[in-house]
Amino acid sequence: MPVELVLQNFIDGQFVGTESHIDSYNPSTGEVYAKVPDSGEADVNAAVQAAKAAFPGWSETPAAERSRILNRIADLIETHLEEFAQAESRDQGKPVSLARTVDIPRAVYNFRFFATTILHKTESATYLETMQATNYTVRTPLGVAGLISPWNLPLYLLTWKIAPAIACGNTVVCKPSEMTSVTAWMMCRLLNDAGLPQGVVNVVFGYGPKAGEAIVKHPDVPLVSFTGSTLIGQRITEKSAPHCKKLSLELGGKNPCIIFADADMEKCIPTVVRSSFANQGEVCLCSSRIFVQRSVYQQFLQKFVNATSKIQVGNPADPMTTMGALISKEHLNKVKGYVNLAYEEGATILCGEGKDELKLSDSLKNGYYMLPTVITDVRDSSRCMQEEIFGPVTCVVPFDTEDEVISRANNVKYGLSASLWTQDVSRTMRMCRKLEAGTIWTNCWMVRDLNMPFGGMKASGVGREGFKDSVEFFTEEKTVCIKH
């Protein structure tokens, strides 16, 4: 089958070719369908130079005009929503229904949200009577921001960085994941039509250690916003340290879901199925350790496995599909490896990989599919309970008391999110103070208000994103003192 797409970098408002390319696979068929630029230091240097040249003009552009342009970008993506949704599904393997209802609408909303944020000012002044001095603060953009994003929610997470960065008056050099570059490239095709000045948004495609690291190490990039694995977050911290860069790191998770006996099971089961397996379990916020109070443990397991078995695994383009293909063959093997490990350790596989048969049509047989898998009888110390699997695998274990479950839930290196199912408000409030997680959902999952801070504790990250937090990250606050 011929390669259908050859992507180019977007630098200074122009598409620019590269000498070499990276094969990009369609996860649903295992076929190469696009070629992604294999950018290096020279491409990154050109992008940073363009961003640097555009910064004085863009940072001086009135907020109302920047806001208008961001809204136009949102409108243009929305006009092409269906094309973007189809492309995201084909590039990433997620069901097209998910891309259509979550990924692309959220990318549109990211631009709209920060387009209005910058119209509101919160600064105030103080008068120091003893010194007859007025103090006030002013926030200014920093310059060229480096934005590096992962493959699981490609356009959603990249625009969550681009929108606040440029809304605040910075210019950017972005590097999406080499495995899911297509929708970022499609977005670049709209930026000139939206009236965005050349050089404000530059996108270089390619491998992390090559193109990504060139951004991180570039002396003219004073801040880097990164979403990805903890391992790479650590590497970015090391590489940027000599320059004292401002860093925002949104990293991995191993999120607990805690279900008490008083939980509303009818509401709990479908949400916990979603929180375990949405986007093939490839969401940093997915629940991968489910703790269930012993008196309802068997009842939960039976209903949970029953509901999980109804997930329709198949062609992401099929509207009936509720779980698509994993991102790559290597990742599929890694995720399956965890299930084998659990089995070897004596765990019980209740449904999915190694237990049930996955039936696929011939056209999909080379795709990266697996069944959603539920594991039990697994120790807290098992690698399946400690490491981020990032696939459709979840472990379910019983607990007895509140104190016990808090300590077990916190007993991992990560601290991204947690979810809690109980009707007891006092218990909720006690537990939320003790659970080590940047976001705690009670009786729900993935309900996001972009006004709220989002980020992780411990190995799950440094910093927060959200209305106030992103504006703080993408600006520098200065205190000005005027003696009268």
Enzyme catalytic residues = 250
Q: Which of 461, 466, 467, 469 contacts ligand NAD by CB under 6 A?
A: 461
**Closest residue to ligand NAD in the complex (CB):** 208
Minimum distance from residue 153 beta carbon to ligand NAD (Å)? 6
**Residues 6+ positions from 401 with CB-CB distance below 8 Å:** none
3-state secondary structure of 356: coil
Task: Tell me the C-alpha distance between 280 and 152, whole Å.
Answer: 10
Query: In this complex, which beta carbon is closest to ligand NAD, that of residue 57 or of residue 209?
Result: 209
Indicate the residue among 297 and 390 with the shorter CB distance to ligand NAD: 390
Burial of 18 (0-12, 13-18, 19+ CB in 10 A): buried
Q: Which is nearer to ligand NAD, 297 or 388 (CB)?
A: 388
Distance of alpha carbon 69 from alpha carbon 195, whole angstroms:
6
Is 171 or 417 the residue whose CB approaches ligand NAD more closely? 417
CB of 331 to ligand NAD, least distance (A): 8
The residue among 27, 28, 24 whose CA lies nearest residue 38 is 24
Q: Which of residues 367-396 bind ligand NAD (CB under 6 A)?
A: 388, 390
Give the DSSP H or E segment for 341: helix 329-344
- DSSP 3-state of 65: helix
Nearer to ligand NAD, 225 or 322 (CB): 225
Number of H helices, E strands in the chain: 16, 23
Tell whether residue 34 is a contact of ligand NAD (CB under 6 A).
no
Edge to edge, the sheet with strand 133-141 lists 125-128, 133-141, 475-483
> Closest separation between CB of residue 60 and ligand NAD, Å?
31
* Token pair for 428: 């909720």
Q: Does 178 bind ligand NAD (CB under 6 A)?
A: yes
> Which DSSP category does 448 fall into?
-
175 near ligand NAD, rule: CB under 6 A: yes
The interface mask with ligand NAD, positions 197-236, x = CB under 6 A, is: ----------xxx--xx--x----------xxx--x--xx
- Binding to ligand NAD (CB under 6 A): which residues in 392-431? 416
DSSP secondary structure letter of residue 200: S
Phi, psi torsion values for 112, nearest 5 degrees = -65, -40
CB of 420 to ligand NAD, least distance (A): 19
CA–CA dist 98, 114 (Å, integer): 23
Closest CA to 427 of 260, 302, 198: 260
CB of 286 to ligand NAD, least distance (A): 9
Give the residue with the Cβ less far from ligand NAD, 184 or 269.
184
Our finding on whether 29 is near ligand NAD (CB under 6 A) is no
Site for ligand NAD in 143-162 (CB under 6 A): 148-152, 157
Identity of the residue, 198 or 237, whose beta carbon is nearer to ligand NAD in the bound complex: 237
End-to-end C-alpha distance for the chain, whole angstroms = 75
Q: Which of residues 275-304 bind ligand NAD (CB under 6 A)?
A: 284
Contacts of 353 (CB under 8 A, 6+ apart): 336, 339, 370, 371, 373, 393
Task: Scan residues 250-279 and list those touching ligand NAD (CB under 6 A).
Answer: 250-253
Please state the closest distance from residue 196 (CB atom) to ligand NAD, in A: 22
Q: Give me the residues that bind ligand NAD (CB under 6 A), please.
A: 148-152, 157, 175, 177-178, 207-209, 212-213, 216, 227-229, 232, 235-236, 250-253, 284, 388, 390, 416, 456, 461
